[in-house]
Structure 1
Amino acid sequence: MKSKSLKLRGVNLGSWLLLEKWMVPSLFEGLAATDETTWCAELGSAAPEKLRHHWNTFVTRDDFAWLAERGINAVRIPVGHWIFGPGYPYHPKYGSERQPFVTGGIDVLDRAMEWAREFGLHVVLDLHAAPGCQNGFDNGGILGVCEWHTQPDYLAHTLDVLERLAQRYCNHPALHAIEALNEPRWDVPTDYLKAFYLQAYARIRKHCPTDRVAVVFHDGFRSFREYLGFMQAPEYENVIFDLHRYQCFDRAEIDMDIYGHIRKAAGEWKQEADDIITELNLPAICGEWSLGLDLRVVSLWAEGPFNHALEYMDDFQQNVATRGYAAAQLATFEKYLGWFFWSYKTETTPAWCFRDSVERGWLPSSFR
């Protein structure tokens, strides 16, 4: 039996089984594509070889070993609704190809689960992209489209995928939790979202017992207080609340100096953590956070201005500021059941790359 109170100190394995252009720009070079859906549709028959090479090289067994050596005890693995291959509903963004996604991702996930078992890492399987896209972000599979909540077949397929994940890995010792859906957008109706979470819980619980596997739900970019009284014991067991915290998307935050960023992380976010712990009656994790303060590198289509807190500092000052911001966030997120840095690896953005951040001394060298 896994401890429900295990402190999770983890990283996300982003842009591995679900592409994000800003994290792996080399894969998108020369293409009009903005997300995995349009990448597969545009490349067509050339997509499988390219993507399978990425799967085999971007994250490897050595990376799991490196994380375990540093005392990281968990990974959150984002997957798309197409992880099991064809059978998903059609979307107009697919173009003439009814089933454009490259097959074989499930074999890579099987391998990842075995590496996690080998190195004693706990896995949170995270459904990161739903049919029709749940948020309009590239990480939801289709940039600029948010239609997941508009069609019954999108909902049905989402639940089927969650159940298949639960069925496949229910007895796997590395499985710690399944997250029903990543970052459904603020304008998805709360009642619809809650009803979905209850259905997702039921599907996962058909296969995964409460003493071994947690069910995680994201706040959907709304106050935790909208979930007071939701999914409570004894009817619902081993449920975890997930929130994501960044300071580089909102204009007021972008305009802050580094002292404002640190103050927010150690003050406002700390108060929020205290309130959640006091009021929600569910354990919580910060499922995504980073050291990123520069909007330009994250959102390749964002509109400027691209001012940020570090831009006029020399290298020494940038390193001091980044370490301070990292420490302020860790001090707060340690109050929760756990946290997951976004992300393990990027091609171009060290403040979003856990490995770079550790090697540069911005994050601790050991998390034991």
Structure 2
Amino acid sequence: MRDKRKSGRVVSGAVLEEGRGKRWNFLRGGGGSSSNNSVQKEKEVEYLTDEQVRKKKRKIWIWIGVAVVLCVILIIVLAVVVSKKGSDNGDDNGDDKSGLDGIAPGSIPSGAPSWLNPFVWADTKDFNLTYTTETVGNLPVMGLFSSWDDSKKANDKVPALNQPWGDYAKRPARGVNVGGWLSLEPFITPSLFEYDKRLGIVDEYTLCTYLAARCESVLEQHYATFVTEDTFREIADAGLDHVRIPFSYWAVQTYDGDPYIFRTSWRYLLRAIEWCRKYGLRVNLDLHGIPGSQNGWNHSGRLGPIGWLNGTNGEVNRQRSLDVHDRLSKFFAQPRYQNIISHYGLANEPKMTVLSSQAVLDWTEAAHKLVRGNGVKNAVVVFGDGFRGLHNWQGELQDLDNAALDVHQYVIFNTNQIVFNHSTKVRYACAGWTEQTLDSMNRATGFGPTLVAEWSQADTDCARHLTNVGWGNRWTGTLLTGNATTDVTTPRCPLQDSRCDCSAANADSGQWSSSYKQFLKMFAEAQMASFEKGWGWFYWVWDTEDAPQWSYKKGLAAGVLPAKAYDRDFDCDMSAIPSFSDLSEAF
């Protein structure tokens, strides 16, 4: 055993341990002195009476008590400061419980479902928390205030909400999507999909299946933090005037076997619309996930087979999707939404290359009739082009009133276009997409009214999880889909060889070269110019956790988008397109 007397100990500890304290000498069993004169040592000891001992003990306990009281006071003060700081920053922390102080817990009936009980909500900011079971279209109004103000306008270039927008062909929409929020998409929020690949968590269905009872709290925390009031203020500040809000059918209804969280996203959708109202932004409602999945892609909720209008339950899911629109359109026919809901989307990206085109057309007619019949009068009814080719829409659905064809334009999901170098991509955006837009707008060659509800300035498919969780990408020739007909195993960057790499494309925007930034801005502005030949555009997407090429917000910060959406430096003057000949092309 180590000799403690040779160790460097604290003096007070040594005194107590070796019996040298004046009071505690004999209580510890004698001295530890090396002197042989014990009689002399005893004489040097100061003896205390029992009364003196009791007094010293009282003093010690008094000081201990004072210390405890001071600690308690300090803890209380810190708690108040932290609480106030959280309240002051309610827009950012997503855990704002403001408004609950005025609500008596007893006013919420025992057993009330979570969507009617604000005491279990993760965020109560800007909700009316008065309990009510009132519904419209069998959808709860809980959270809505009774009054609203439509006098705001997004900017000086557009009318206020309570004024008619006018002709979209003359005043095109300039909007953005808040994607990856109420309908999850792995590349937008990869942190929600960071699991061992062997677990197979690739979409919202598998995520909620795995999380089970925890899914509601995980997703509500995401709803409360990923998009906040600041989001809509920043969108208006960027000179944008419309917001497309993707959401999925489980905001309205779930069915046997569904792991999705029922209705939690509903109140966030309603609050988002009110925040858009506050900043004068018009809303494009986008039903992104349909019962059974309309395309089999992860952002429909479930990756895999298409079960809408297709397969064993195709007709069941057809009716379910109409039932969802029956309830939604009754709700959004209320007077409070007549000015702010500018677009009403029926189904995001139905995959008509697989589905029966006639079945989709018949459903679209039925859904349009339902929506109009339920009182949604002013909104443009939007339906997807289905990837069937814009010229194939000539003469289709001409009896639909105030309807528009929704086209999504990307080069990076096309194996033959992703290889374009930067100069060619800008030229294609100016020439190719302008021609397509004009042809589609002309009823002699296309459907007629056409808008682009998704596009991006991304020129690679390198973003993590973009093509699906764990699938690789076309850029480096590592796309493995499980189907040999869709695999891409040779590099498809402009160099088409081993130099194709994703590190630069996925780098933080601060590392982008000046040439690459020049290209990104010109590519974005070329698309804006092309799509404004139609009924306007909605950028995909406002923000991402990383993937800076895809984020409008990050693009603004990097200077690769116009500071105001209505001001452009480049307007498709083909002679002004540089060669972009440096190696930044190759990424």
- Structures share a fold, TM > 0.5? yes
1:99 and 2:247 are equivalent in the alignment: no
Q: Which has the higher contact order (CA 8 A, sep 6+)?
A: 1
In the alignment, what sits opposite 1:33?
Answer: 201
Output the amino acid matched with 1:73: D
1:240 and 2:400 are equivalent in the alignment: no
Among 355, 358, 370, the residue aligned to 1:188: 355
1:308 and 2:493 are equivalent in the alignment: yes
In the alignment, what sits opposite 1:10?
Answer: 175
In the alignment, what sits opposite 2:389?
Answer: 223
Cα pair 1:231 1:239 within 8 Å, conserved = no
Matches within 5 A, 1:267-346: 267-279=431-443, 280=446, 282-297=448-463, 298-299=466-467, 300=469, 301-306=471-476, 307-308=492-493, 315-346=513-544
Shift of 1:147: 2.0
Shift of 1:267: 1.0
The range that moved more, 167-176 or 213-222, is 167-176
Matches within 5 A, 1:1-368: 2-6=164-168, 7-30=172-195, 32-86=200-254, 88=255, 90=256, 98-103=257-262, 104-150=264-310, 151-170=314-333, 171=335, 172=337, 173-185=339-351, 186-210=353-377, 212-232=378-398, 235-279=399-443, 280=446, 282-297=448-463, 298-299=466-467, 300=469, 301-306=471-476, 307-308=492-493, 315-368=513-566
Output the amino acid matched with 2:523: Y
CA distance in 2, matches of 1:328, 1:182: 25
Output the amino acid matched with 2:406: D
Superimposed CA distance per residue, residues 249-279 of structure 1 (whole angstroms, 9 cap, x where no aligned partner): 1111122111121121111111111211223
In the alignment, what sits opposite 2:571?
Answer: none
**CA spacing shift, 1:180–1:267, aligned 2, 3 Å:** same
Cα pair 2:365 2:400 within 8 Å, conserved = no
Output the amino acid matched with 1:75: V
Shift of 1:9: 0.6
Cα pair 1:127 1:162 within 8 Å, conserved = no
**CA spacing shift, 1:100–1:335, aligned 2, 3 Å:** same
**CA spacing shift, 1:305–1:290, aligned 2, 3 Å:** closer
Cα pair 1:269 1:332 within 8 Å, conserved = yes
Output the amino acid matched with 1:308: C
CA distance in 1, matches of 2:243, 2:475: 34
In the alignment, what sits opposite 2:484?
Answer: none
CA distance in 1, matches of 2:548, 2:194: 20
CA distance in 2, matches of 1:177, 1:206: 16
Cα pair 1:85 1:101 within 8 Å, conserved = no
Shift of 1:85: 3.7
Cα pair 2:521 2:562 within 8 Å, conserved = no
**CA spacing shift, 1:252–1:99, aligned 2, 3 Å:** closer
Shift of 1:304: 4.1
CA distance in 2, matches of 1:281, 1:40: 39
Shift of 1:45: 0.7
CA distance in 1, matches of 2:270, 2:461: 34
CA distance in 2, matches of 1:157, 1:20: 23
The range that moved more, 140-149 or 154-163, is 140-149
CA distance in 1, matches of 2:493, 2:374: 47
The range that moved more, 179-188 or 200-209, is 200-209
TM superposition score normalised by structure 2: 0.58
CA distance in 2, matches of 1:351, 1:139: 19
Cα pair 2:393 2:447 within 8 Å, conserved = no
CA distance in 2, matches of 1:167, 1:118: 23
DSSP 3-state at the match of 1:9: strand
CA distance in 1, matches of 2:181, 2:323: 22
Superimposed CA distance per residue, residues 117-145 of structure 1 (whole angstroms, 9 cap, x where no aligned partner): 11111111111111221112111111122
- Give the paired residue count: 356
Cα pair 1:15 1:23 within 8 Å, conserved = yes
Superimposed CA distance per residue, residues 274-333 of structure 1 (whole angstroms, 9 cap, x where no aligned partner): 211223363211010001122121224245452535968961121111112112111101
DSSP 3-state at the match of 1:291: coil
CA-based RMSD: 1.9
Cα pair 1:85 1:102 within 8 Å, conserved = no
**CA spacing shift, 1:136–1:302, aligned 2, 3 Å:** farther
CA distance in 1, matches of 2:384, 2:558: 31
Cα pair 2:289 2:300 within 8 Å, conserved = yes
**CA spacing shift, 1:293–1:305, aligned 2, 3 Å:** closer
CA distance in 1, matches of 2:396, 2:475: 40
> Runs of 5+ in structure 1 lacking a partner?
91-97
In the alignment, what sits opposite 1:95?
Answer: none
Superimposed CA distance per residue, residues 161-188 of structure 1 (whole angstroms, 9 cap, x where no aligned partner): 1221111112313211211111111211
CA distance in 1, matches of 2:517, 2:458: 13
In the alignment, what sits opposite 1:93?
Answer: none
Shift of 1:4: 4.9
Shift of 1:209: 4.2
Output the amino acid matched with 2:195: G
The range that moved more, 77-86 or 345-354, is 77-86
DSSP 3-state at the match of 2:453: strand
DSSP 3-state at the match of 1:254: coil
> Runs of 5+ in structure 2 lacking a partner?
1-162, 477-491, 495-499, 506-511, 567-587
CA distance in 1, matches of 2:166, 2:329: 18
